[in-house]
Amino acid sequence: MEKIKLNRKNLSKLKAPVLIPSYTKDDLKTSIVHLGMGHFHRAHQALFLDRLIADGTAHSGVFEINLVPDPYPLSAITAEQDYYYTLLSRGKTGAEDIRIIGSILGYINAAENKKEALRRTASEETVLITITVTEKGYCYNNTAGDIDWKHPFLVHDREHPDDPKSLVAFLTAALWERSKTNKKPLTIVSCDNFPSNGKILKKSLLSFCREVRPELIPWIEDNVAFPCSMVDRITPNTSPETVRYLEEKYGIIDRWAVACEDFIQWVLEDNFKILPDSGIDPRDYAKAGVQLTKDVEPYELMKMRLLNGSHSALSYPAYLMGFTTVDEAMSEPVIQKYIRNFYMEEVTPTLAPVPGIDLTVYKDTLINRFSNKNIADTVLRLCEDGSTKIPNFIINPLVDLIHSGGKHKAVTAALAGWARFLAGTGEDGQAIPIKDGAGQAAIDAAKTARNNPENFLRVIGVHDLKEEEFSKLTGVFKGYLESFYTQGARKTLERVIADR
């Protein structure tokens, strides 16, 4: 088989079943800027845009910007491939869909060229900004209900607003320039996993402006829309095995490929600033399969509490039991039973009715998605950054359950599994590779949680409980944590199931 290096001139050499763009990039505008060019964005928002360009609905591509340094020479790789990449989606049965995505027009890293990154974002041509920087990228303190002014980035940005490091400071600097040079409105869409993401983004931005650019606030209020959104597609980090697979089976040499599951969902609030002849109308995303709604919250809570919460709940016991991939973990009966029959069932009463969704079908679908061996999602990926995930995904529904008198032993056990993981040594005595940049306080508290469980629960953000409620929760948590240490993860999950 001929090996073809992916770039513009070689597109015509690729043969079926590889789907190549039916359009060229020459006539596309650059009306969209995306902040945070990771694997998920390229498997999700960039695909929806690719569909719109292909059917002639959209006439704009997206310019990509990363706000943090790249771990590898991404600028060179993307330029060599003319910003094309392969998207490989895989179903549980083994069916594959392979297509070349052409919706990306350029890339820059703000850490390498901040001036140009700000210019692109502030440009009059930009009418839509989308964001995937993960929850931690917002420097937001859920407990305080405000941005974390003690965060090193914000400490710097408060004194040096023209040299921004944080997301909110970067947007403030770009919007400040835009407000001075033109009055055109725009839409900024957060696509990250936390409740009311658009509202929180606006709140965080205005909080920063009040300290640094108070005169910008009226312009933002009048000219910028911040719709909420819910996004979903399981997208592991691209592995060397995926790169080799594409080359060996399809003859594609692609250093920038993405592999993901075949499921995809985007629910987007119908709240936009629309500009004619801009190359993109956000409402047109509905033509590519995006669901527009006036209220995203029921969908985002469903996804965060059932999918994301279950991911976290299964990941820590699975790691302690020696599983490396999620599908392998889900093939273990005690894990699957714990997640589907206990964890998910406890969480469900905290959800409002979701228009058009049968929650029983949704939960069964999640189990099938988690069991997809063809995407080889790793347990350690799910274990990352628990300190920014767990407050929204697990603690919030736990507190709701306690307030309502609902069952919550399986949810409490999930916190105990996390605490056992954060202690840093597995059941085999080996060091655990913990990756949680914002979680040092939780890690420190976890190491003493067997003797001081109250402190761990306070540190991770369990608040708004009466003294009696907190005391009962602490007792259950302590019992499960002790079981994780003395009986191991498998026996502990069996105990959770038996306790019901």
Q: Which structure tokens are listed for 376?
A: 């080889």
Q: How far is CA 217 from CA 187, 207, 214, 359, 401, in A?
A: 15, 9, 6, 41, 38
Which parts of 238-295 fold into alpha helices (H)?
A: 240-245
Same domain, 260 and 304: no
Contact between 392 and 194 (Cβ < 8 Å): yes
Query: Phi, psi at residue 205, to the nearest 5°?
Result: -65, -45
CATH number reported for the structural domain that contains residue 252 in this entry? 3.40.50.720
Q: In which band, very low, low, confident or very high, does the pLDDT at 494 lie, cut at 50, 70 and 90? A: very high
Q: What is the pLDDT of residue 273?
A: 95
C-beta atoms surrounding 16 within 10 Å = 7
DSSP state of 19: B
Domain that holds residue 450: 297-499
For residue 490, which amino acid is it? R
Same domain, 287 and 395: no
Q: Coil, strand, or helix at residue 354? A: coil
Same domain, 316 and 416: yes
C-beta atoms surrounding 261 within 10 Å = 22
pLDDT in tens, 153-183: 999 999 999 999 999 999 999 999 999 987 7
Determine the angle formed by the axes of helices 467-486 and 396-404, rounding to 10 degrees: 120
Domain stop point among 244, 260, 293: 293
Same domain, 82 and 103: yes
Query: From CA 62, how far away is CA 290, in angstroms rounded?
Result: 17
Domain stop point among 234, 268, 293: 293
CATH number reported for the structural domain that contains residue 360 in this entry? 1.10.1040.10
Domain stop point among 231, 264, 293: 293
Q: % helix / strand / coil in the chain, to the nearest 5?
A: 50, 15, 35
Query: From CA 420, how far away is CA 414, in angstroms rounded?
Result: 10
pLDDT of 454 > 90? The answer is yes
Same domain, 232 and 96: yes
Q: What is the pLDDT of residue 182?
A: 78
DSSP state of 349: G
Same domain, 271 and 140: yes
Query: From CA 87, how far away is CA 82, in angstroms rounded?
Result: 15
Query: From CA 424, how far away is CA 432, in angstroms rounded?
Result: 5
For residue 180, which amino acid is it? K
Same domain, 265 and 373: no
Same domain, 171 and 304: no
Contact between 359 and 351 (Cβ < 8 Å): yes
Q: How many domains does the chain have?
A: 2
Q: What is the pLDDT of residue 2?
A: 87
Which run of H or E residues covers position 106? Answer: strand 104-109
Looking up tokens 């800027």 gives 33
Same domain, 52 and 199: yes
Same domain, 184 and 312: no
Average pLDDT, the chain: 96
Q: Is the peptide bond before 17 cis (omega within 30 degrees of 0)?
A: yes
pLDDT mean over 86-105: 97
Query: Which residues, including other chains, have CB under 8 Å from residue 299's CB and lie 6 or more apart?
Result: 230, 267, 291, 293, 354, 357
pLDDT in tens, 177-231: 999 987 799 999 999 999 999 999 999 999 999 999 999 999 999 999 999 999 9
Query: Which residues, including other chains, have CB under 8 Å from residue 224's CB and lie 6 or more apart?
Result: 175, 185, 186, 187, 188, 202, 273
Q: What is the pLDDT of residue 90?
A: 96
pLDDT in tens, 311-326: 999 999 999 999 999 9
Same domain, 336 and 191: no
Among residues of the chain, what percentage have pLDDT more than 90? Answer: 95
Same domain, 147 and 88: yes
Predicted structure pTM score: 0.94
Q: How far is CA 315 from CA 414, 456, 490, in A?
A: 9, 19, 13
pLDDT of 1 > 80? The answer is no
Which parts of 140-263 fold into alpha helices (H)?
A: 152-159, 167-181, 197-212, 217-223, 240-245
